[in-house]
Amino acid sequence: MFNTVEELIKSLTETFGPSGEEETVRTMIANLVRDRADRVFEDALGNLYAVKESNRPRIMISAHMDEIGVMVTNIDENGFLRIAPLGGVNPIMLLGQRIRFKNGLTGTVYHEKFKELKELDWSKLYADIGQRDAAAAENNVKIGDSACLAQPFNNLPGGRCLAKAMDDRVGCAVLIETLRRLPERLPQEVCFVFSIQEELGLRGAKTAAYSYEPDFGIAVDVTLVGDTPKAPTMAVSLGQGPAIKVKDSSILCHPRVRQLMVETAENNNISHQLEVLERGGTDAGAIHLSREGVPSGAISIPCRYVHSPSEMIDLKDVLNAVELMVKLLTKEWPFSEESNVF
Ligand code: CO
Ligand code: ZN
Distance in Å, CA 316 to ligand 1 centroid:
21
**Within a domain: 29:** yes
Same domain, 205 and 323: yes
Same domain, 308 and 224: yes
CA dist 188 and 49 (Å) reads: 16
Same domain, 15 and 47: yes
Q: Which residue, 9, 320, 11, 50, is CA-closest to 161? A: 9
Q: What share of the chain is helix, strand, coil (3-state, %, to 5)?
A: 30, 25, 45
Same domain, 204 and 318: yes
Is residue 168 helix, strand or coil?
A: helix
Same domain, 242 and 101: no
> pLDDT by residue for the chain (342 residues), tens digit each?
788 999 999 999 999 999 999 999 999 999 999 999 999 999 999 999 999 999 999 999 999 999 999 999 999 999 999 999 999 999 999 999 999 999 999 999 999 998 888 889 999 999 999 999 999 999 999 999 999 999 999 999 999 999 999 999 999 999 999 999 999 999 999 999 999 999 999 999 999 999 999 999 999 999 999 999 999 999 999 999 999 999 999 999 999 999 999 999 999 999 999 999 999 999 999 999 999 999 999 999 999 999 999 999 999 999 999 999 999 999 999 998 877 666
Is there a catalytic annotation at residue 266? Answer: no
**Within a domain: 39:** yes
Distance in Å, CA 87 to ligand 1 centroid:
7
Domain that holds residue 136: 69-149
Residue 221: beta bridge partners? 300
Helix 5-13 with 23-33: angle, nearest 10 deg: 160
**Within a domain: 187:** yes
Same domain, 208 and 229: yes
Same domain, 184 and 225: yes
Same domain, 302 and 203: yes
**Within a domain: 323:** yes
Same domain, 123 and 176: no
Name the DSSP class of 68.
-
Residues with Cβ–ion distance below 5 A, ligand 1: 167
Q: 198, 199, 311, 323: which is the annotated catalytic residue?
A: 198
CATH of the domain at 141: 2.40.30.40
Peptide bond before 168: cis, by omega within 30 degrees of 0? yes
Number of domains in the chain: 2
